[in-house]
Amino acid sequence: DGGITQSPKYLFRKEGQNVTLSCEQNLNHDAMYWYRQDPGQGLRLIYYSQIVNDFQKGDIAEGYSVSREKKESFPLTVTSAQKNPTAFYLCASTNLGGGSGQPQHFGDGTRLSIL
């Protein structure tokens, strides 16, 4: 079945460490997104990408980096510069064709905690 796979499901980060969250989709979607979800707050956009080798900062990009070397893959690196990384991270994708009503499809998320 087509879908979005995020891994790992749980991740722990030590002080000063960079960690990478994986996101793979086999839906042939053009656009991919990374969101962060904290209790009592809505999903906040970190980075998004429309095509391979192109990506844009979202609302809270500081302390994060991404790459889009393949259409299917959009990994997110949480760097040591992100001082409050504990959150639930969600990857999403959508088809850019077919009109404005295309919903975003989400992966199951990665829960990141600080050790």
- The footprint of other proteins (CB under 8 A) covers 31, 33, 35, 40-45, 48, 50, 56, 88, 90, 94, 96, 100-109, 111
Is residue 96 within 8 Å of 50, Cβ to Cβ? yes
Q: Token pair for residue 66? A: 């991404």
* Beta carbon of residue 16, minimum distance to other proteins (angstroms, whole number): 28
Least separation in angstroms between CB 67 and other proteins: 17
The residue (of 41 and 53) whose beta carbon lies closer to other proteins is 41
Question: What gap in Å lies between CA 25 and CA 4, rounded to an integer?
Answer: 4
Q: Note whether 30 and 95 are within 8 A (CB).
A: yes
Q: How far is the CB of 94 from other proteins (least distance, A)?
A: 5
Spatial separation of the C-alpha atoms in residues 63 and 104, rounded to whole Å: 24
Which residue's CB is nearer to other proteins, number 16 or number 42?
Answer: 42
